Amino acid sequence: MILENFLDKESLIIKSGDGGDGITSFIRYKGVTAGGPDGGDGGNGGNVYFIGDRHKTSLIDFRYKHKFVAENGGKGDTKNCHGKNGEDLYIPVPLGTVITDAETGAFICDIFYDGQTRLVMSGGKGGKGNAKFTTSRRHCPHFAQKGEKTEVKRVNLELKVIADVGLIGFPNVGKSTLLSKISSAKPKIANYHFTTLSPNLGVVRYYDDTFVAADIPGLIEGAADGLGLGHEFLRHIERTRLLCHVVDISGVEGRNPIDDYKTINAELKNYSKKLSNLNQIIVLNKCDLFGAEENIKEFKKRVKKYKIITVSALTGEGKEELIKTIYNCLKEIPAYEPKQDEGFTYDKVYSDSFEIFRDEDGAFIVDGDLVKTLSRNVVINDMDSLAYLQKILRQKGVIKKLREEGCKDGDTVVIGNIEFDFVD
Ligand SMILES: Nc1nc2c(ncn2[C@@H]2O[C@H](COP(=O)(O)OP(=O)(O)OP(=O)(O)O)[C@@H](O)[C@H]2O)c(=O)[nH]1
Ligand SMILES: [Mg+2]
């Protein structure tokens, strides 16, 4: 939903940095004619993190900025110098942001606490320089490893506000006025329907303790079918432990308070079983107005399911009693827990898997994860590197599989960007 200063769903593109390439170089200075290899490793690419920021209240920052790319790792250098590591990228989000993979819908994480930091995509590893490939038999490797490349991913962000208690009720019943009286929040208050267009959060103090209350836009009959502002905002009280059901007991707008109460409960039920099963405290507001007294008696006679508190949000009457009742109720209900992190990661798990198929010219094409790894590590015009390729192909069973598929001497084999004639 997009309102002027509020946004609670957004889609972002993220990418961690590529790893820098390792380089091929040899020691070269006056007096040394044939120095050993000294090509340094490439730097690692920067990681992408999400971080909880309690000062943010909406995803509005992402309305115009959708792309978040961490820095690439630098190339290795001569004299065994390691390339610079790419800088990590931290993306601040409001508390209550649920992040999922846009392609599969897989749950990634739930940013719940201030400062909570979650690594979402690791940077690519830097490639090794040629100095690292020296062995007792290979004194001057003429090849280095390329840096690992990372992929672009799209993630969905959804803000589900976290509060202990949610204020619900018809428009104009005084929810925002009440929030402004019991907490330090300063929501907009006015004598018309749908003054509140996005959730407001307020911290309520009770002696040395606090709890968080959320005020959401008013509901009307048919909200579940999209009437009024719809029930979209109920999502923001899905993560509360208790509901404060505010009813205008004066009936000043011509509606019957008991009908109001029933209508809202029916809408809750329509939206989710979980919400309609939450415990409620009924707040009969505007008790300062004419006609309230009569209605309070009638209401208490007819509605017995939940605790009832009478208040005047305007004068502040009954406010202490309400805070105390909410606080005591909350003590009985366990705190809301974030959705369990199952360790989702975009990091590639390189496998040795490969497949072989033939193209229209009869060439044998080898494809799969193994090929991706090989193309990072093999330099076509280097003998040592080709020997390494041969060794791996034999070790991983590619040669055997090629033979089984009918590959004979002289047939063309294509592995990534490397093409050669098969020699058995
Ligand atoms: N007399 C009286 N008026 C009240 C009381 N509480 C709120 N009001 C008035 O009722 C009107 C609506 O108050 P809001 O707090 O904006 O109501 P709301 O439920 O947040 O309304 P929406 O955001 O539109 O859903 C304002 O003019 C308030 O001054 C009360 O206890 N007594
Ligand atoms: Mg309001």
Q: What is the pLDDT of residues 311-330, one digit of tens each?
A: 999 999 999 999 999 999 99
Q: How far is CA 161 from CA 48, 234, 336, in A?
A: 23, 10, 12
Over 90: is that where the pLDDT of 180 sits?
yes
Residue 282 is predicted with a pLDDT of: 97
pLDDT tens across 257-308, in order?
Answer: 999 999 999 988 988 888 899 999 999 999 999 889 999 999 999 999 999 9
Q: pLDDT tens digit string along 22-71?
A: 998 888 777 766 678 899 999 999 999 999 998 887 888 898 899 999 99
For ligand 1, say whether the CB of 129 is within 6 Å of any of its atoms. no
Q: Does the 165-332 domain belong in CATH 3.40.50.300?
A: yes
Q: Does 122 have pLDDT greater than 60?
A: yes
Report the candidate in 326, 116, 316, 96 with the shortest Cα–Cα distance to residue 211: 326
Residue 25 amino acid letter: S
Check whether domain 355-421 has CATH 3.30.300.350, yes or no: yes
Chain mean pLDDT for the chain: 88
User: What integer is the mean pLDDT of 385-409?
Assistant: 87
Instruction: Select the more confidently predicted residue: 15 or 367.
Output: 15
Cβ distance 168 to 245 under 8 Å? Answer: yes
Of the candidates 152, 145, 200, the residue with the CA atom closest to the CA atom of residue 20: 145
Predicted pLDDT at 1: 44
Ligand 1 atom at minimal distance to the Cα of residue 173: 19
3-state secondary structure of 257: helix
Mean pLDDT of 383-400: 84
Regarding the beta carbon of 290 and ligand 1, being less than 6 Å apart is answered no
What is the mean predicted confidence (pLDDT) over 378-407? Answer: 83
Enter the CATH code of domain 1-159. 2.70.210.12
For ligand 1, atom 11, the nearest C-alpha belongs to 191
| Average pLDDT score over residue span 10-18 | 95
Percent of the chain with pLDDT over 70: 94
> Is residue 113 lining ligand 1, measured as CB closer than 6 Å?
no
Does the structure show a pLDDT above 70 at 348? no
Report the distance separating Cα 207 and Cα 39, nearest Å. 65
**Domain coordinates of the chain in residue numbers?**
1-159, 165-332, 355-421
- Only one residue has tokens 């991706």, namely 372
The CA 221 to ligand 1 mean position distance, Å, reads 19
Element (H, E) at 236: none
Q: pLDDT digit string (tens) for 238-263?
A: 888 999 999 999 988 889 999 999 99
Q: DSSP states of 128-197 as a string?
A: PPGGGG--SS-SS----PPPPP---EEEEEEE----SEEEE-STTSSHHHHHHHHSS------SSTT---
Q: Which of the ligands is closest to the CA of residue 200?
A: 2
pLDDT at residue number 300 = 95
Q: Is 253 in the pocket of ligand 1 (CB under 6 A)?
A: no
